Amino acid sequence: MMTLKIIIPLAIFVLILLMGGLFYSKIENWRYLDSIYFVVLTATTVGYGDFAPKTDVGKIFTIFFAFIGIGMALYFFSLIGRYIFRKQLRSELRKSEKLISAKKSIRT
């Protein structure tokens, strides 16, 4: 089950993406879907280059958004990775505990 340690950063990350999309749709006069597309590509550092801000305000916002968006994306993805790693580790520990208890029961 996902914990609050993952849900809260996910909610903040999604909120940042949605707010960034709203900003670009208003300032750059892009469709909202195009704005979200640009925001996601910027935050994940993919950056195809098919969209770029034209206004000075949009360019300045992009500078700050990149720092915040990339940082949040990396933090969120590291949380997901840690969650998966710990889940796998717990599973492996349970298997080894069962193996150890099975070996002990054979000896006695």
* pLDDT, average across residues 21-38: 97
Which two structure tokens, joined as six digits, stand for 101? 């208890």
Q: Is the domain defined by 8-107 classed in CATH 3.40.50.80? A: no
Which two structure tokens, joined as six digits, stand for 68? 């915040």
* pLDDT, average across residues 76-88: 90
Query: Are the C-beta atoms of 79 and 6 separated by less than 8 Å?
Result: yes
Chain mean pLDDT for the chain = 90
Provide the pLDDT confidence category of residue 2 given band limits of 50, 70 and 90.
low
Helix (H, G, I), strand (E, B) or coil at 51: coil
Q: Is pLDDT at 83 greater than 90 in this prediction?
A: no
Alpha-carbon 68 to chain mean position? 12
Question: Residue 67 and residue 95: Cα distance in Å, rounded?
Answer: 42
Name the more confident of 33 and 102: 33
Q: What are the DSSP calls for 70-83, one per residue?
A: HHHHHHHHHHHHHH
pLDDT of residue 94: 87
Domain segments of the chain as ranges? 8-107
